[in-house]
Structure 1
Amino acid sequence: MSNLAVLSLKNRALIALITIVAAVFGGLALTSLKQELIPSIEFPQLVVVSTYPGASPEVVSNDVSVPIESAIQGVPGLESTSATSTTNASIIQASFTYGTNLATAEQKINQAINRIKSQLPDGVEPNVISASIDDFPVIQLAVTGYDDEETIQAQLESTVVPELEDVPGVNAAQIVGGVGQRVTITPDPEALADAGYTQQAIRDALDQNGVLFPGGEITEDDQTLTVQTGSKIATVDEIAALPLVPSTAGQLRAGEVTIADVATVEQNEDPVTTISRVDGEPALTIAVTKLPSANTVDVSRGVLAVLPDLEDSLGGATFTVVFDQAPYIQQSIESLAQEGLLGLFFAVLVILVFLLSVRATLVTAISIPTSVLITFIGIQAFGYSLNILTLGALTIAIGRVVDDSIVVIENIKRHYVGDADKMQSILRAVREVASAITASTVTTVAVFLPIAFVGDVTGELFRPFALTVTIAMTASLFVALTIVPVLAYWFLRPGKPLLDADGRQVDPEAPEAPPSRLQKSYLPILRWTLKHSWVTLLLAVLVLAGTVAAAPFMKTNFLGDSGQNTFTMTQEIGAAPSLEAEDAASEQVEEILLGIDGIQTVQVSIGSSGSALRDAFTGGGSGTTYSITTDPDADQVALREEVQSAVGELDDAGTFTVAGGGGGFGSSDIEIDVTAPDSSTLEEATDAVVDAVTGAEGIGQVSSNLSASLPYIAVTVDRDKAASLGLSEVAVGALVSNTMQPQRIGTVEIDDTTLTVYLAASQTPATLDELKQLTVPSATGPIPLEEVATVEESEGPTSITTEGGQRTATVTVTPSTDDLTTASASVNTALAEADLPDSADAALGGVISQQQDAFTQLGLALLAAILIVYIVMVATFKSLRQPLLLLVSVPFAATGAILLQIITGVPLGVASLIGVLMLIGIVVTNAIVLVDLVNQYRTKGLTAHDATVAGGSRRLRPILMTALATIFALTPMALGITGHGGFISQPLAIVVIGGLVSSTVLTLLVLPTLYNLVEGAKERRATRRRGDADAAPGALEPVLVGAGAAGAGGAALTRRELRAREAAAAAASGAAVATAADADVPTIDEGPDVEMPEETSAAVVVDDEYMEPESASEDAAGTAEDDPEEPEPAPADAPTDTVGGEAEDADASHPSDSDVTGDSGVEENGEGDAEAEHDDGEDVEDVEGGDPDGAAHAEAEHEDGAGETAAAADAPRDDEDPEDDGETAAEVDGGAEGEGAAEPTHDEPGADHEESQDRTDGWTGDEHSDRPE
C-alpha cells in the first residue's frame, strides 16, 4: 500500500486535482440525496384485506378468513400467516422469508384466492396489499372552519386533491372521514307484487343495461369507423327509467314496467360511520403519500407551498398540518450534522494538542471532510438515502476516519526533522506504517460483513449503516496514503531533531532515543506491569469478572424510542358503543388534552374510517383514536406519561392505551400470545394471563383483544319448523340480511364519479321486537320471524385471531420502565405462576420476540466478525499466535462498553450491539499498530521485553491521539446535545466510547504484558535449549574464518540456517580456510579448493558522513561494486536485494577509534546494524593497539547518527514452526534480560563476528539517505 504514497508524491498535481473533483462530486451527491427518517424498508409481508359489511367476527372468520388463509398456504416462501376477523372486515397477514420476491408472491396469492372465490360470500372482494415504509403518509392535513361538509368535500375532491397529486413526488392524496355518495333503490313490495315482479327483476335491469360492447369496424369512403353498442347510464333518472324485462304471462299482461314504477331511486349520502375533529372543530383529513423514489422533505415542502393558494379557494376553510415527517427528519439530520461538526472540532483540537503544529493538524483534519464527501458519492451510488442511520454512521466515522491520517502524519513529523530529505522522510514514514493502518482499516470494516446475512428488520435497517462506515473508512485509508503525504510535502516544515546527551542527532525510532515527557510518565507504569505480569493480568481478569457480574444490572430494549413528536392514544368505552356515545365521551378527553402544556394539536377519529385495513387493525372500526402532536423540544416520554395520568383520572371514560409514534419502531409493548383449541378455553386462558400479569413489577397497562365481549343479536332458525313451512335456513337468513342492510347490486358513473348502487328494504326493523315481527313469506302465508327462529341478544368476541388456523388471543403489556429485561422477567414470572387450562399455552411475542431474534442473529454476527478479524490479523502478522493475543482485547473492550451503559442508564439494544460489532474492529486497530512496531524492533535484534518497552513508548502518542480523537468526536452524540435523532446514534456512541477507553488501557498495559509473557517465554526456552547443547561434553566451538566469519559470530544456528548457509556458500564458490593459530578449536572448510578473497576494511560512519578507511589494504581489497568480476561472498543469512538488476552492497561501519579482527559485515544503504557478540564476555585485543582496555565494540550506525545496538541473536519469528523454537539462535546476555539492548561482548582473538543486515528496498534515491522501510 505504500506504493500509493510513492505514486502520489510523483503525481502531486494530479492527486490535488482528483481531491478537488471528489470534493465537488461529493457536494453534488449530498444535495441530491433524498432525506428520510429511516431507510426505505419493504417488509416481506403481504396483507389480504376483505370487507364483509354487516358480518359479525364469527361470520367473517368462518366465511372469509378461514377459506382465504387455507388457500394461500401453498404459496412459495410463505413463513407464517395470521388472520384477524372483526366486525365487517377480515385481514390476513402473510409473512415471507427475507429475499422472497414480493411481486411474484402477490401474483401467487391472487391466483390462490381466485381459485376459491366462488366459496366466498357475494360482494366480498379480497385486496392484496404490500407493506412498506412508503405506505405511511408523509404529511396529513386537516380542513376545518367550513359550514357545509358536502360542499367543502366536493371542493376538495375537485380542486384540492388533484392539485396535491400534481406536486412532484406525491403518490396519492386521499380524503379520510368524508361523507360519500351512493345510489339507493328502495322497492315498493305492493307495487312489485301487483306487477308480478320480484326484487331480482330490478337487479337484472341494472345488470343488463348501461354496458358498452365493441362491434368491430366499418370502412367507408376511405375512413375506418369502430362500432360500439350500448350507452352508459349517466344519471339517476336514467336508472329510474330502466324497463323491467317480463318473463311470464302475468308480467306481459302488466305492460311496460320501469324501475320507477315499482321503486324509488335516489342519490344520497352514505351512512355516517365516523366523526373527525381537530382541536375540537369538525374536520376532514387529507393523507398524502409519496412515491418510493421521492424525497420526503421535498414532498412536504412542495405540499406546504401550494396550501396558501388552495386555502384561498375554499371560501374561509383553513388547513391545519396534523402530521408531517419532514420537520422531524430535518431536525434529526441537522442535529446529527451539528454533533458531527462538534465532534470534528474536538477531534482536531486533540490532534493539535498532541502534535503542537497547526500545519500538521490542518493536514490531518483535511482527511475528515474529504473522506465524508467521498462517502456521499458512495451512498448515492448504492441508492441509499440520507437518514438517521447513514448520517449516524457518518458522525461515528468522523472519529475513525482521522485515525489513519493521525498515524501517518505523526510518523512523518517524527522522521522529518533537521536537515533530513523531505521526500525520503515522508516515504520512509509512510512505508513504516502503511501495512499496519491497512490491516487496522480492513479489520474495522470487515466486521460489518456479517451484517449482510442478518435478516429481519435489523438487517434492513443497519445495512446502509454498515455500508456507510465501510465507504468512509476505505476513503480514509485512501486519503491517508495519497492526499496526506502530498499535503505534508507541500506544507510541513522540518521539526527539531532529537538529540542525545552528547548532542548528536538520534533517530526517534531508535530504542535508545531519549523519551519525551509523555513517554517518561508512561514508561514507569509499563515497566511495572511487565515486572509484575501476573498481578497485572489478575487485575484485568478481576475487572472483566466484575463487569460480567454487573451485566444483569444493564437495561435492555429493542430499538428504543424514536423521540418523534407525535403519538397516538386509543379509548374504549365499552362493548359496541354507539357513535353518539363515543362522540360524547371523546369531548371531555379533547378538553383535557388541549390543556396540557407541550401539546400542539389533537386530532380525534371516532368510529370506522371507511378503510377495511385500518378498521381491521383498530378492532373493526370501533373505539376512538387520538393523534397528538407535541412541541418538538418537549420530553416526549414524560409528556406521554402525563397524558396517561391525566386521562386516567376521568370517571366512566373507559380505558386508554398510549402508544409511541415513529412507524412502530418506538414500540416497547410486550405481547403475550395465548393459544387454545376452542373459544371457551381461549377466553379462560386469556383472563388468567391478564390477572397474573396485572400489577407485576415494572408493568403498566395490560389489555387483551378478548377483554371485552361484543353483544349482538343471534337469529337461530328452527330447521324442522322452517322445513314444514316450505322454508330453509338459507332462505330465512337471506331474507333477514336483505332486510337489515342494503345489498350492493352494481355501480354507475355519474358526473365522473363512480357510485355504488344499493338495493334497500322499504322498512328496516329498528328494535329487537320489530325484528321478531319481521314478515317472512311461507307456504302457508306470511308469518313473523319469531315463529321459525329464536331471536335473542348474545355476546361474542370483538375479534377472532388465528395463526396457522389455530385460534389465538393477544395480551398487550406496556412496561412502566424503559428496561425491557426487567419487564420481560416480571412477565415470565407471572406466566409461570398463572393457572392456565391444560390445553392452553402462553408465550412472549411482540418486541420481546423481535429482540430475541435480533440479539441471536447479532450474536452470531459478532462471532463471525471475531473470526474475520482473526483471519485478517493472521494474514498481517504471518502468525497464528500473535493475533490471539490481540483478540484478548475484545472481551476487555466490552468491559468499558457495559460499564458506561450502566452508568449512563442507556439500555442495551440493537443499536448498542451494532456498536459492539463495530468495536471489535476498532479495538484491534491500535493493537495492530503497536505489535507491528514491536515486531520490527525484534527483527533488529531486541529481546521481547526491550522491544515491548520501546514499541509501547514509541506508539504511545499515536494510540492516545487516535483514541482520544474518536472519543471526543463521539462525545456530542453520546451526550445527545441537540436532543433529536439519538435513539440509534446515542447508544452506538456510548458503546464505542466506553469500549475505546477500556481497550486503550488494555493496549498500553495489558497487551504488552501478554506479549512479553508469551514471546519472552519462547526466547527463554530457546536460550535454555542452546545452553544445554553448548554444555555437552567435548563440544568445541567451530570457527569460520575468511568471508564467512562475519556472518557466524558466536551464536548457535538452527538446522535451517545451517543448511541455508551451506547452500549459499557453495553457490558463491567461496572457500573457508581452517586455521588454528590462536585457538585450539577445530576448523571447518566452507568451500574447498576455492581461494579466499582478501579482506576489506569497513567504511566508517561519523556524524552522517561516510569516511574511507585509512588502512593500506583498502586499495588491494576493493568492494563488490569496484570489482564485479570477483564478488565478495556474503554470509548465508545476509539477504541481498537487487536494484535495477544488480546486487547492491555497502560496507558496515566500525567506530573510528578501534578495529575488530575479522571481516566486516555488509551494510546496505548505510542502515544496517553490525555488532560483534561473544559468549564469554572477554575483551578482544585490538590488533592496532588502539584500545588499551580491549573493550572496543563493533557497531553500525544509522545515517542520522542514531547508533542502534542489535543483539547478535536472530529474534524469534512468529512464522517459524513451533518445533523450531528451541533451535533459534537467540543469545541473551548474562541474565540481564529485558534491561535494554544486549551490549556486544568480545570473545578471544580470532573469534567470529556476526553483522546484522537490513534488506534493501526498491528505492533508488540518494545512496547516503535513509531508505523508506
Structure 2
Amino acid sequence: MRNLFIRRPVFSAVISIVIVLLGLFSVTRLAVESYPPLTPPEIQVQAVYPGATAQDVADAVAAPIEQQLSGMEGLLYFKSANSSDGVMNLSVYFDVSRNPDLAAVDVQNQIARAQPQLPQEVVRNGIVVQKRQTAFLVVLALSSDDPRYDTEYLNNYAKIYIDDELKRLPGVGDASTFGQLDFSMLLSLDPDHMAQLGLTVSDVAAAVQEQNATNPAGRIGREPAPPGTQLTIPVITSGRLKEASDFERIIVRGRPDGSLVHLSDIGEARLGARNYDLAGRFDGAPTALTPVFLRPGANALQVKREVVTRMTELAKNFPPGVRWSIAFDTTPYVTASINEVVKTLFEALLLVTLVVFVFLQSWRATLIPVVAVPVSITGAFFGMQVLGFSVNLLTLFGLVLAIGIVVDDAIVVIENVERIMAEDRVPPAVAADRAMRQVSRALISIVLVLCSVFIPVAFLGGITGLMYKQFAITIAVSVVLSGIVALTLTPALCAVLLRPVPEGATAVAESGPVAKAFNRFFGRFNRGFRAVTERYLGAAGRVIDRPRTFFAAFAVAVALLLVLVRSVPTGFIPSEDKGYFGMLVELPDNASRQRTEAVVKQVEGFLLKQPAINHVVSLVGLNFIQNANQTNAAIMFVMLKPWDDRTTPRDQFATVLGGVNGFLFQLQQTRGFAFNLPEIIGLGTTAGLELNLQDRGVNDITRFAGLTGEFAGDANALPELRGVYPTIRVNTPQLFVQVDREKVKALGISLSELFQTLQASLSTLYINDFNRYGKTYRVQAEAQSRFRQTPEDIGRLYVRGPNQQMVPVSALTRTEFRAGPSVITRFNGFTSSLVVGAPAPGKSSGEMLAAVERLAQDKYASRGVGYAYSGQSYQERASGGQGGLVFALGLVMVFLVLAAQYESWTIPFAVLLGVPFGTLGALFGVWLRGMANDVYVQIGLIVVVGLAAKNAILIVEFANELRAQGRSIREAALEAGRERLRPILMTSFAFILGVTPLLTSSGAGAASRHSIGTGVFFGMLVATLVGVFFIPLFFVAIRSLSERGLVRPGAQGAIPQPTPVAVEGD
C-alpha cells in the first residue's frame, strides 16, 4: 500500500483535495459563537398573587410548588424570588444533558400536583412555565422624540408589530419587549362615590364580567331544517367591549327610581398599562427595549444579520419619528475573540513554517508540511459538522494547537526521507519507500496514542465535559487526518518534490546574496546542531550510566509536581474583557420607581461622560441579581467602545470598572456595584461568587439576615475576597393591616369581600379580558391614585354589610408599621440569602471558594446556617475532580494503546515515565505567571500528555528496532536518541513556537488564550529539553528489567520484529 501512494501521486493528491473540499463546504455551514451551548437548561415558573407580601408569596405559592420539585431527573437545584409585588419567580436548573422540553414537561406536571394547595387567585392569574433562553444576543431599542409616542406606546408597538416578527426568524430563541406595559383597560374607581351608592368592588367585577363577554347566538337555518331552506345565516350579538367609552357605559346597578348607575358614575375607564413598575432607558432617555435571544446551535453572527435585515424592513412602516437601534450587543466580543484566534492560527502556521524551514533548509522540503497542515486543519471542519460542533473558541483553540501537532507527522516522514537520501545516496522515490517502511509504525502509534488521549474525554459529563469534548475531538479529527495525509500525500510529495543534495553541496543551490546569506546561516546552524547532538549523546550516556542518581532526580521532579498540584490555585474560566459589564443600583427599601429613576439618570450622566463607554442600557424596577421586581432597584448594562479604541491604561476594563465602583460608592443613600458578567452567558448572574446561605435551623428571618450580614463582613475581611455583598434585606417598612375577624363576622361581612376590596384598591383586580389590535389584554380594576397615597386612605375604603349598609374599613381594621423583607429568596426549599462577591486581586476563584467554605463550615454551620453554590460557582465546584480524571484517563488509555501496539506490558512505561516532565513544566509556567489551574490549563495538559508521549514513542520505537537487530540495550537507546533528536526538536519547537502567539496575545479573549498557551508552552518546553535525556534511561531500565526476567515473559510479550529494510531495486 505504501508503494501505491508513491507510484500514484495524483491519486494521493485527490484524497487530500477531497478532504479540503469537504472542509471548505462544511465551514460555511457551521454556526459561529463564542462558546457551544453549555448552560444548564433552565425552566422558569412565574406566578402572581396580587396584593400579597413577599412572605405571603413564599408561604402560599413558592413552598407548595417547591415541595413537589425534588427528585426530578437531572435536577441540579432550584431557587425562587418572592417579592412584595406578589410575584414569584422560580428557576429550576437541570443537568446540561437533560432535554429542555422534557424538563419543562416534568416541571409542569409537578406544578399540577401542587395546584390544589395554591390560592385560587394565583391559579386564576395563570402559572407560566417556560424554557428560559439564556443565550443573550442583542437588545433592540425603539425610541422617538415625538411626545405622542411615549414609552407605553412604544412598548406596545414593539409587542404587537416587532416581537412576533423576530421570533419567527431562524435562529432566534425568543424576543420579548421588556416590562409589563401591555395594554390594559384600567377601571379607576372612586371609593367615596361607590360608598355613597352602596357599591363594592365585587359589584363592579360582576357587572364587567356580565357585560364584557363573548355571547355566541348560533345560526338561522341550521340543520336539521325544513325542506327547501335556502340560506344559513349566522346570528351576531354584541360581544366584548373595545373602547374605554364602552366600559364607562357598563351598568353597575339599577336604582329604585328606574335610573341606572354606570361605571362612569363611580370612576373612569382608560386604556393604560398592566403594570407601571418597570421602565427601560437607553443612553439617558426612556425607550422600549427588546432583548433577542439565540436559539441553541444557531450562528450568532448570521442571526444578528437576519435581525438587522428584518428590523430595517419593519422600520419602513414605523410611525413618523419612531426609530430603532441596537442598544446592547454581545456579537462584537464573539467576532473580535474569534478573529483574534484566527489571527493566532495564521501566526502559528507562519512560525511553524519558519521552524521547519530552518531545520529542513529547503523550500521544497518545507513546502510539503505547509501543504499537509492546511489539509488536516481544513478537513477538521467537516468532522466538526458531522459531530454537530460549531466554530467557537474551544474548537478554534483546538485547531491552533493542532497546527503544531499535525505538522509532526509530515516532519517525521520528510526528515527520514532526507536522511536516507543523504546516507544511502538513493533517489527520492526509493528513499520515500524505505522511510515509510521505517516510520509507518511510529506514525500509526502516534495517531493512536494522541487519539487515545483526546477521544475518551468526550464521554465526560457536565459543562466541563462538553468543553473538553469540543476541544479534544477537534484535535483528534485533525490528528487522524494528519495521519492519513502522512501515509498518502506526504510520501508522494517527497518522491516528487525532493531532490538529492550532492555531497558537499550547499543547502541552497541558488546563487546571489540572499542564497549566500542562507547558506552561511544554515552552515552555522548545522555545525551547531551537530555539536549539540554530540553533547546530547554524551549527556544521555552519563544519565544511563548513573541510574540511581537520575531516578532520584526523577523522583524529585514528581515530588515537585505534587507540590505544584497542591499549591497552584484552581479556577473555572478566566475572566475576560468582553466589551461590556453589568451594574446593580439599589436605593433604600421602599423607594419609588420615580426616585430610583432619578438616581439612574445621575449614574447614566456619569457613565456617558467616560471616554471608554459607548452606550448604557437601564432596566429600572428590576433586581437582576435576585431575579425580582423591585421599585428601588435597577440593573444597567454598559457597552464599552471597541478594543482597538481603548488603548490607554485608563480605558482598560479593570480600570473602568474600578472607576465606576468608586463613583457608586460616593452616592448618597444608594448602594451599587459594577461587575463583570459570566464568561458563558446564562451561567449565573456574575463572574464571581454566587453563594446561597440557607436557613437550616435559625427559623427566624430577621436573625438569619443578621447572620448573613455578619458572614459578609467576615468574608470581606478575608484576603481572598473583595466586594462581598448579601442581598437579603428585612428592614423594609411595611404597613400591617390587622383585621378584627370577630367584628367582621359579627357584622355579617364576608372576609373575602374585605380582602378583595383591599386588593382592588391598593393593587389591581383582574376581572376579564378584551381584544384590541388582534391581541387579548386584561381588564383590571383599581382605586384612583389619590385614594392610595397614605395609610389613612385604607380607612376611606368601604365594604357592604348584610343590611346593605356600607361599613368603613377603618372600623374593621387597625394599621401599624412593621419591618419586613421586600424579597424573600429560597434555595432548594430553604429560606436563603444570595451572597455575591469577587476574588481579591491576585487571587483565583478556586482560592475564593475555598476561603468561603472554610468560613461557612467553621463559624456558621453550628449556628444553623448552611450554604450551597449556584451559577458559575456551582459549575466550578462540580468540575473540581474533572481535571484529574481527564489526566488519569489519558495516561491509562495511552498505556493500553501502547501495550496493544507493542504487545508488551512493560515497554509502555518507558513512554509514560516522560509525561510527568511535561505536566511539571505546564504547572510551573502557570505558577510562574500567577495564573490559576483552570479548565483551559487542564485542556492544555491533555495536549502535553499526548505530545510528551509522542516524543518518547519516536525514541522507544526506533530503539526497539535496533535492539531487535542485535544492538545492545544501551547502544540502541543512544542511537535512537541520536537519530530521533532532530525530528523531536524540530516538531517540538515547531509546536512551541506555534503556541507562542497565545502567550503574547491581547484584545478580546486574551485571558483564555494566555491560560491555554501558558500550560502547553512551558509543558512542551520542559518535556522536550528534559525528556530527551530521560527517555533513553527509562528505555534501558525497562528493557533491562524485562530481559533479566524480572517481568514474567508471558506478561512481557514479544517485541515485534521490524519489517526488513528495503534495498534499492526492491
| Equivalent residue, structure 1, for 2:661 | 644
Q: Distance in 1 between matches of 2:858 and 2:70?
A: 36
Q: Distance in 2 between matches of 1:988 and 1:216?
A: 79
Question: SS at the partner of 1:36?
Answer: coil
| Equivalent residue, structure 2, for 1:982 | 1006
| Equivalent residue, structure 1, for 2:731 | 709
Asked if 2 retains the 8 angstrom alpha-carbon contact of 1:702 and 1:814, the reply is yes
Establish whether residue 770 from structure 1 lines up as the match of residue 569 from structure 2.
no
- Correspondence 1:460-859 to 2 at 5 A: 460-496=466-502, 516-608=530-622, 617-618=627-628, 620=630, 622-633=632-643, 634=646, 635-660=652-677, 662=679, 663=681, 667-677=687-697, 678-680=699-701, 681-727=703-749, 729-761=751-783, 764-778=787-801, 781-817=805-841, 818-831=843-856, 834=859, 838-842=863-867, 847-859=872-884
Q: Distance in 1 between matches of 2:180 and 2:382?
A: 46
Q: Deviations over 1:904-954 (max 9, x none)?
A: 222211111121123222210111111010000000101111001100000
User: CA 1:801/1:277 → structure 2, altered by over 3 Å: closer, same or farther?
Assistant: closer
Q: CA deviation at 1:965?
A: 0.8
Q: CA deviation at 1:371?
A: 0.5
Q: CA deviation at 1:337?
A: 0.7
Letter in 1 for 2:329: D
Asked if 1 retains the 8 angstrom alpha-carbon contact of 2:108 and 2:129, the reply is yes
Q: Deviations over 1:405-424 (max 9, x none)?
A: 11111111212346524433
- Correspondence 1:208-247 to 2 at 5 A: 208-210=213-215, 232-233=239-240, 235-236=242-243, 239-240=246-247
Find the partner of 1:433 among 435, 439, 442. 439
882-891 or 232-241: bigger deviation: 232-241
Q: What is the TM-score when the length of structure 1 is the normalising length?
A: 0.74
Q: CA deviation at 1:289?
A: 3.1
Q: Deviations over 1:315-358 (max 9, x none)?
A: 44554432122222111111111101000111111111111111
Number of residues of Structure 1 aligned to a counterpart in Structure 2: 1016
Asked if 2 retains the 8 angstrom alpha-carbon contact of 1:444 and 1:922, the reply is yes
Question: SS at the partner of 1:700?
Answer: strand
Asked if 2 retains the 8 angstrom alpha-carbon contact of 1:674 and 1:686, the reply is no
Q: Distance in 2 between matches of 1:390 and 1:225?
A: 66
Letter in 2 for 1:296: A
User: CA 1:114/1:1015 → structure 2, altered by over 3 Å: closer, same or farther?
Assistant: closer
| Equivalent residue, structure 2, for 1:1047 | none
User: CA 1:12/1:251 → structure 2, altered by over 3 Å: closer, same or farther?
Assistant: farther
Asked if 2 retains the 8 angstrom alpha-carbon contact of 1:449 and 1:865, the reply is no
39-48 or 470-479: bigger deviation: 39-48
User: CA 1:270/1:130 → structure 2, altered by over 3 Å: closer, same or farther?
Assistant: closer
- Correspondence 1:972-1051 to 2 at 5 A: 972-976=997-1001, 978-1016=1002-1040, 1021=1044
Letter in 1 for 2:125: V
- Correspondence 1:1067-1146 to 2 at 5 A: none
Q: Distance in 2 between matches of 1:770 and 1:407?
A: 89
Q: Distance in 2 between matches of 1:223 and 1:481?
A: 85
Question: SS at the partner of 2:430?
Answer: helix
Find the partner of 2:178 among 176, 198, 204. 176
Establish whether residue 284 from structure 1 lines up as the match of residue 283 from structure 2.
no
Q: Deviations over 1:246-290 (max 9, x none)?
A: 9xxx88995888766776443234553233332223332232334
548-557 or 351-360: bigger deviation: 548-557
Letter in 1 for 2:138: V
Establish whether residue 52 from structure 1 lines up as the match of residue 49 from structure 2.
yes
912-921 or 894-903: bigger deviation: 912-921
User: CA 1:139/1:393 → structure 2, altered by over 3 Å: closer, same or farther?
Assistant: farther
Listed as ranges, the gaps of 5+ residues in structure 1 are 500-513, 1023-1211, 1225-1251
Asked if 2 retains the 8 angstrom alpha-carbon contact of 1:57 and 1:799, the reply is yes
Asked if 1 retains the 8 angstrom alpha-carbon contact of 2:160 and 2:773, the reply is no
Establish whether residue 322 from structure 1 lines up as the match of residue 344 from structure 2.
no
Asked if 2 retains the 8 angstrom alpha-carbon contact of 1:234 and 1:750, the reply is no
| Equivalent residue, structure 1, for 2:279 | 275
762-771 or 331-340: bigger deviation: 762-771
Q: Distance in 2 between matches of 1:311 and 1:923?
A: 59
Q: CA deviation at 1:672?
A: 4.8
Find the partner of 1:922 among 943, 947, 970. 947
Q: Distance in 2 between matches of 1:790 and 1:408?
A: 93
193-202 or 281-290: bigger deviation: 193-202
User: CA 1:415/1:126 → structure 2, altered by over 3 Å: closer, same or farther?
Assistant: same
Letter in 2 for 1:540: F
Asked if 1 retains the 8 angstrom alpha-carbon contact of 2:905 and 2:1051, the reply is no
Looking at secondary structure, tell me which structure has more helix per residue.
2
| Equivalent residue, structure 2, for 1:1265 | 1064
| Equivalent residue, structure 1, for 2:961 | 936
Asked if 2 retains the 8 angstrom alpha-carbon contact of 1:772 and 1:791, the reply is no
Q: Percent identity?
A: 23
Q: CA deviation at 1:178?
A: 7.9
Letter in 2 for 1:733: F
Q: Deviations over 1:1107-1147 (max 9, x none)?
A: xxxxxxxxxxxxxxxxxxxxxxxxxxxxxxxxxxxxxxxxx
Q: Distance in 1 between matches of 2:871 and 2:306?
A: 37
Letter in 1 for 2:606: I
Q: Distance in 2 between matches of 1:997 and 1:226?
A: 89
| Equivalent residue, structure 2, for 1:102 | 100
701-710 or 991-1000: bigger deviation: 701-710
Question: SS at the partner of 1:385?
Answer: coil
User: CA 1:1017/1:716 → structure 2, altered by over 3 Å: closer, same or farther?
Assistant: same
Q: Distance in 1 between matches of 2:194 and 2:312?
A: 53
| Equivalent residue, structure 1, for 2:354 | 349
Establish whether residue 300 from structure 1 lines up as the match of residue 323 from structure 2.
no
Asked if 2 retains the 8 angstrom alpha-carbon contact of 1:191 and 1:261, the reply is no
Q: Distance in 1 between matches of 2:454 and 2:1060?
A: 38
| Equivalent residue, structure 1, for 2:454 | 448
Q: Distance in 2 between matches of 1:212 and 1:888?
A: 88
Asked if 2 retains the 8 angstrom alpha-carbon contact of 1:885 and 1:1007, the reply is yes
User: CA 1:236/1:144 → structure 2, altered by over 3 Å: closer, same or farther?
Assistant: closer
Q: Deviations over 1:64-108 (max 9, x none)?
A: 111222234464444543333223321222233454333233223
| Equivalent residue, structure 2, for 1:907 | 932
Question: SS at the partner of 2:374?
Answer: helix
Find the partner of 1:82 among 56, 79, 82. 79
Q: CA deviation at 1:159?
A: 5.8
952-961 or 881-890: bigger deviation: 881-890
RMSD value, Cα = 3.6
User: CA 1:985/1:197 → structure 2, altered by over 3 Å: closer, same or farther?
Assistant: closer
Q: Distance in 2 between matches of 1:893 and 1:209?
A: 77
| Equivalent residue, structure 2, for 1:1093 | none
98-107 or 261-270: bigger deviation: 261-270
Letter in 2 for 1:755: Y
Question: SS at the partner of 1:349?
Answer: helix
Q: Distance in 1 between matches of 2:237 and 2:421?
A: 94
User: CA 1:49/1:692 → structure 2, altered by over 3 Å: closer, same or farther?
Assistant: same
Q: What is the TM-score when the length of structure 2 is the normalising length?
A: 0.87
Q: CA deviation at 1:835?
A: 5.8
Q: Deviations over 1:355-398 (max 9, x none)?
A: 11111111012111111111111112222211111111111111
